[in-house]
Structure formats: structure tokens, C-alpha cells
Structure 1
Amino acid sequence: MLLTQNATASLPLGIVLRKSPGVTRWAKWVWKAVAVLPGAAQENWKEMRREGEVVEYHAATVDLELYRTDTEAYLAGLSTNPPTIYVVMREATDPAAPQDIEVLLATASPYDAQDYSDAGEEIIERVPMPDGLIAWIHDFVQQHHEEEVFVKRKRDKQRIDLVQDGIGDARIHQTTDVYRAPVRKARVVN
């Protein structure tokens, strides 16, 4: 864990992905994020377990970064049952990639996860947080969260309905009702 003076925290987080056979002919493989490993070493597609065609990989290690300004989002994430980390993945664009999916990042903020899901190009998976990670994020939130004080807006007492301002075009002088329908002048035929 690295805690800096500018109120950010960073922790390496290993992402475990499960690759299993697809159930349709259009999806050959199904990828699912199944676990996170707090404090993991750097790995790149290390096979962890194999049962038949189902394989679990330590796919990547990414930094889970916490920011002082996002503590409200972390509180929302901690209040889910169970508290979750959101893993953002994308189909690999490089044909030389070891697998057909790549891990972009992990976040504890459900707001960030929503932003990535709005684009529709990324795959977002929810992974339950281990107890140690819950405690680490909770400590960060306790240290940096400042509740926003609700300030009710007060109206001024000025009466704005007494003056008809902005009706019609001020450059055109009219002595009649500005809301009347236009009238056509009759043409005289000789």
C-alpha cells in the first residue's frame, strides 16, 4: 500500500479471470472476473487452475487507485451487498495478444463503472472484495471523507410578476395586444 501526501492511495490488485467454453456457436469462450488479489505481484496470464476446459488465469495486475475527491462513490460501493470491485475489460485489439480479452483497470467506484458501461465498448464485471480490501478502503474513506453540508437556496423577495419585460419586440411600437393573431389586410380589386 502506498499512501501519499496528496490524499491518494494506490494498491496493486491482481485480477483473476475464468475462461470457460461458450454455450452458443457465436461465443466460443466466456470470460468472467472471479477474484481479486490485493498486493499481488506483476503477472501476465499466469495459469492458476484448470478443470477440463475451464481455466483460471492471473490475467493482470493493475493499480487500484483511491482519490480523496471520490470518497462518496467509495461509500456507495462499500454499501452494496457484498461490497464489490469493478473490473473493466475490453476485447483485445492486438492479434498477438495472449488471449482475446485484456484488463484495463479495476475501480472501487460504482460511478466510474457506470461511466465505462455507458460507452458500451467495455465489459464490466463485479467481483466481491476480500475483507482486507474492504478494511483498507474503509480506512481511506474515514480519513478523507467530508460530508457535504446541504445549503437550502433562499429566494429573494422581489416581485418579478409586476413588470412585463420581454414581451414582443421592443424595437416595434405596438399599442395593441402583442398576443393577437395577425390580421390580413383586404385587397381591393378594380
Structure 2
Amino acid sequence: MPVGVVMRRRPGVTRWARWDWRAVAVLPGARPADWQELRREGEVVEYHAATPILELHGAETEAYVHGLGADVPGVFVILRKGSGDRPLNVVRVTASPYEAQDYGDNGEDIVEKVPMPPGLAAWVQSFVEAYHQDQAFVKRRRDKARVDRVEDGKGDARIPQAADVYRSPAAARRRRLS
């Protein structure tokens, strides 16, 4: 589904940041746009910055369930620094909080959570109902092999005794000299 991203530009609060840019809304089913001005109130301006495609995948339904279960279900807008009159580029829009976390962890992207409109939430919910399958948690069982009987590679090879394998080589030399 094409989803328009609304960016808001406000005056910065410090002398080092002239403008504060935030993703504030999404427009489900929007037409393509390229930083089209939507509204202006004094120095605050809202732009329809871009219209990326929101894709849902059957393998990520658990993440969608997690996102829909939040106090305020959200869509995550992934942004990258731009240049000139376009300070941010919209890279992607996702409904998966897990994917958003992956983008946030790379250190190069900015991840903004935007409230999910009710119509979009209903669309994601219908997708989840059609494709989600609960996965039962299966605890991994240990192998029955006895690994405690062999001490290969344990301790320092310069110490010939098996009794004190953690003793330092200097302590072993002092014992042999005395």
C-alpha cells in the first residue's frame, strides 16, 4: 500500500539546530509526492515528503501482532540525512517494530514512530488474521553425550600434571626448583 509521509519543520530550540524536523503522520493510499507543502502556520510547515510502499510479509506477522498490541499502534518511518532543501530522505515505512529496531541499531538511520491511522490498523489486522500462525515455544533439550569425562584442551599444556591444570607455569617451575 502506498503511504505518504508527512514531515513537520519547526524552528530549532538551540542555536546549533536551525530547524527541527519530525515525521508526524502517514497518509494511507496517498499519491506520489516530492516535498509538497501541505500546511503553513507561521514558521511551522508540514510537507508531504514522499510516498513509499508499505509491504507486509507473512513471515513477520508476530511483529505486526506486537505492534498492534501497543498502547498506540504505530508505523515506523525510516529516515536518512539528506542535503540542501531536503534535509531528510524517507528510506522506508514499516509496520514491524522488529524491523524498525534493526534500522535504529545501525547508527546511520533515524527511526520515527508515527501513530497508525485506524484504516491502516484495520488493514494490518486483517493481514495478521489471514496469515498469522502461533508458534509454540519448544525448549531445546540437551544432548545425552557425557562431555565431562574428557579434559582435552583444558588448562595450560606446559603443566604436565592433571591435578592442577589452572596453576600458572611460573608456579610450576618454582615447585620443580625447590
TM-score with structure 1 setting the length: 0.79
Ranges in structure 2 where 5+ consecutive residues have no aligned partner: none
| 1:138 aligned residue | 125
| 1:182 aligned residue | 172
Distance in structure 1 (CA, Å) of the matches to 2:34 and 2:53: 14
| 2:141 aligned residue | 154
One of 80, 85, 96 as aligned partner of 1:90: 80
Deviations 1:30-78 (A, max 9, x none): 0111111000000111111100110011111000011111111111111
Is the contact made by 1:13 and 1:61 (CA closer than 8 Å) also made in structure 2? yes
Ranges in structure 1 where 5+ consecutive residues have no aligned partner: 1-10
| 1:67 aligned residue | 57
* Residues paired across the two proteins, number: 171
Deviations 1:3-41 (A, max 9, x none): xxxxxxxx0000011111111110000011111100000
SS of residue matched to 1:100: strand
Identify the range of structure 1 (144-153 vs 27-36) with the bigger mean alpha-carbon deviation: 144-153
Q: Considering only aligned residues, what root-mean-square deviation do their CA atoms show, in Å?
A: 2.5
Q: Which amino acid aligns with 1:56?
A: E
Is the contact made by 1:168 and 1:178 (CA closer than 8 Å) also made in structure 2? no
Identify the range of structure 1 (174-183 vs 75-84) with the bigger mean alpha-carbon deviation: 174-183
| 2:70 aligned residue | 80
One of 30, 36, 42 as aligned partner of 1:46: 36
Q: Which amino acid aligns with 1:166?
A: D
Does residue 110 (structure 1) correspond to residue 97 (structure 2)? The answer is: yes
Q: Which amino acid aligns with 2:13?
A: V
SS of residue matched to 2:52: strand
Relative to total residues, which structure has the larger helix share, 1 or 2? 2
Is the contact made by 1:18 and 1:57 (CA closer than 8 Å) also made in structure 2? yes
Which consecutive segments of 4 or more residues in structure 1 shift more than 6 A? Answer: none
TM-score with structure 2 setting the length: 0.84
| 2:152 aligned residue | 166
